[in-house]
Structure 1
């Protein structure tokens, strides 16, 4: 089955404008797969560590991390929802620049995959994609 997730940029070193997308994915995907899908959707280089956590808010001190005990990064996405009452799912990428995205399950009903469509699929997008390395010029690095 295909489910729709809402991905919303919450914070990041260079987060200047709002960005969000609706991402259609197979409900059997793992959080590792979701990480790759978000990287593609936002257009980042997949070059840093990442994590998922559950909390009331992105800066919450009582985070439930996916460490393999209660929650695993290998779990099917569908098995995570519904989340515990009052909690949200967050994706944290690049622990230095602290890109944080909130991941929510859409109210759209799960459905069959569309013939010929590759999943994950960005169904809609709002705002401007953030620049992962604002002001970075890789060609200038070669001049050193």
Structure 2
């Protein structure tokens, strides 16, 4: 019995993930550590916290041709598997990357790559390792809308400048990232 516990404990692994927001230049990305046994439901929370989203919209994972998310009981769509109990390591099945889409209207596509597999005894909360550039505001209109938003707020003579500043609620720095806030948000996610 002791040998099995030791084998099980030593076989636990952490996955170093790089989360990239597709379709945006310069690249918006975050790097996190999570246990391989994290559920996709908790990984969704990690992505939301790391990127700076507010979980206002629906989302979906696509891994090795399978779709995971929160099935809608109003539709008889059996192609979306519930993410609640699905572990990341099991769903990857040897794949090194996955796709995560947030907000089907704005269609924010994230590419998530497993960069490293590391040994670990425990990982009580996800760990933030770094990132670059601010997350776009919610409901800005996807990559195309975000480009227009940045153009408008950067030029005080732009016809939409004041409206965009008012809509956002102040100034917006597309290069700013609050690393401490991200780590604090991730520490609230108990694994």
**Superposed pair shares fold, TM > 0.5:** yes
Distance in structure 1 (CA, Å) of the matches to 2:168 and 2:125: 32
Runs of 4+ in 1 over 4 A off after TM superposition: 67-72
Q: How does 1:1-144 map to 2 (within 5 A)?
A: 1=12, 2-11=14-23, 15-54=24-63, 64-66=66-68, 72-73=82-83, 74-81=85-92, 82-83=94-95, 88-113=97-122, 119-125=125-131, 127-133=132-138, 134=140, 135=164, 136-137=167-168
- Contact kept, 8 Å, 2:61 with 2:101, in 1: the verdict is yes
Instruction: Report the counterpart of residue 60 of structure 1 in structure 2.
Output: none
**Alpha carbon RMSD of aligned pairs, Å?**
2.8
Q: Deviations over 1:61-91 (max 9, x none)?
A: xx532277796523111112312xxx84100
Instruction: Report the CA distance shift for 1:45/1:105 in structure 2 as closer, same or farther (over 3 A).
Output: same
* Pairwise CA distance, 1:16: 4.5
More strand by share: 1
Distance in structure 1 (CA, Å) of the matches to 2:55 and 2:28: 18
Instruction: Report the CA distance shift for 1:106/1:88 in structure 2 as closer, same or farther (over 3 A).
Output: closer
Instruction: Report the CA distance shift for 1:37/1:109 in structure 2 as closer, same or farther (over 3 A).
Output: same
TM-score when normalising by structure 2: 0.54
Q: Secondary structure at the match of 1:106?
A: strand
Please list every run of 5 or more consecutive structure 2 residues that lacks an aligned counterpart in the other structure: 1-11, 72-77, 141-163, 171-191
* Pairwise CA distance, 1:111: 2.1
Q: Deviations over 1:92-139 (max 9, x none)?
A: 00001111111111224232336xxx52111121x2022223533369
Please list every run of 5 or more consecutive structure 1 residues that lacks an aligned counterpart in the other structure: 56-62, 140-144
**Structure number, greater radius of gyration:** 2
TM-score when normalising by structure 1: 0.69
